Amino acid sequence: MDLHILDHRLRVTSICKNGLENFTHPLIKLIFLRNRTRCKFFSLTETPENYTVVLDQEGFKELPSSDHLLVESSVWLPLNVVSNGNASSSSQAVGVTKIAKSVIAPLAQQHVSVFMLSTYQTDFILVREKDLAVVIRTLEEEFSIYREVGGESVPVLSQDTHNGLRRNDREVTQPTVHPVVIPQNQFCVMSLDPDTLPAIATTLIDVLFYSSSPKDGAPPCPELDCIKFFSFSLIDGYVSLVMDTEAQRRFPADLLFTSSSGELWRMVRIGGHPLGFDECGIVAQISQPLADSDISAYYISTFSFDHALVPEEDIGSVTAMLRQQREEPAC
C-alpha cells in the first residue's frame, strides 16, 4: 500500500451556534460558489454543540475574525492510504478499519494525535504538520510514502525530513477509554454531483443553518434518543454528505446517490466531555476493535467529539464489544 501526503495545509475550526449568522455568507460561498474561491478542501459538520469547519488556507481566508470562531492552533496535513498507487481507490464507506492496525495504532504508540475525516470517496487521516517527520519514520516500513508537490507525487524518505527520529519508544501508557453514546438515529452516507448543488441549495441551507438543534451550543443529554449530526464536504471537486434518515427525506432522492446496497448506519459518539486535540489513541479506541472484528466504519472527528458510523446490522455486536472494553481492567 501507498501513503500519500496531500498538498493541502488545513485548519480545524469551530463556529459557535449562536454566532453562525456571522459566517453564513462565507460558508455559502465555500459550498455553492467553488469557482469563486481557491479553496480545494472544505468540510462542515454540525453537531449539537457547534459547527466544525476543516478547510485549507485559501478557504480559511474566507472566514471573518470573530469571538464566535475557535481555531485550533496547528496546521494539519491530510494523509490518504491507497493501494497499488491508485490515488482514486478507496471504495465508499470502507472507513478506518482497514488502516487501524497499519496507521492509527502505530501513530498512537508514537504519541501522534490524529483527526479523522471519512468521506464517500475516501478516508483522510489528518496529522499535525509538526509531527510529519515522526509520522514518516513510523510508517515508512509499512508504506511507500509520497508527497504531492505541484500536482506530482514525489517519493519521500525519512532522511528527507528534519527532526526525523521517532519519539521516545517508552512504554505506551494505557489510553483512556472514553464513554460512548449510541443514539437511535439511522444515518445515510451519500454523494452528489457538484453541478447539481444549486438544485438542493434551498434544502441544504435550511438543514445546515436553520435546523432545530439545541440553542447556544448546549451539549446534548447522554440519554437523548437521537442526535443532530449533518456533515458536508467538498474536497477536490467531490461532494460527500452524512445525514440521518429524517434529513434525507427532505432532499430529492434522484440527485443523491449511495452504495448499491443502500445500507443504513448507526453512530457511536465518543467522549463524555470535549476531547481536545492533544490526547492520542481516541480513534484507536474504537477503530482497533472494529478492525479486529472485521466491521467497517465511517469516522468523523469534530472539534469536541469523535463519531464513528457502523453498519446498522452490526450495532448489537459493537455495543457489546464496547461494553466489554470498558469493563476490562487496565493492563
Question: H or E element: which one contains 233?
Answer: strand 230-235
pLDDT of residue 161: 57
Nearest of 35, 9, 22, 14 to residue 234 by alpha carbon: 35
Q: What is the mean pLDDT of residues 93-121?
A: 83
Residue 271 has a pLDDT of: 85
Q: Is beta strand 238-244 parallel, antiparallel or unpaired with respect to 187-192?
A: antiparallel
CA distance 2 to 75: 23
What average pLDDT does this structure show over 284-301? 87
Strand intervals (E) in 83-213: 114-118, 123-128, 144-149, 152-155, 180-181, 187-192
Report yes or no: 288 and 104 within 8 Å, Cβ to Cβ.
Answer: yes
Report the range out of 83-92, 224-233, 236-245 with the highest average pLDDT. Answer: 236-245
pLDDT over 70 at 325, yes or no: yes
Query: Distance (Å, rounded) from C-alpha 299 to C-alpha 318?
Result: 14
Percent of the chain with pLDDT over 90: 63
Give the mean model confidence (pLDDT) for residues 93-107: 73
Select from 3.40.50.1000, 3.20.20.140, 3.40.30.10, 3.30.2130.10 the CATH code of 1-331: 3.30.2130.10
Q: How far is the CA of 244 from the CAs of 54, 186, 227, 247, in angstroms?
A: 21, 5, 9, 6
Cell of 297: 466504519
22-53 residue pLDDT tens: 999 999 999 999 889 999 999 999 999 999 99
Domain boundaries, the chain: 1-331
Residue 219: pLDDT over 60 = no
Q: Are 96 and 118 a contacting pair, CB within 8 Å?
A: yes
**Res 73: pLDDT:** 95
Look at residue 145 and tell me whether its pLDDT is greater than 80: yes
> Which range (79-88, 137-146, 189-198, 262-271) has the least confidence?
79-88
Q: Which of 71-75, 128-132, 224-228 has the lowest mean pLDDT?
A: 224-228
**Distance between CA atoms of residues 226 and 242, nearest Å:** 15
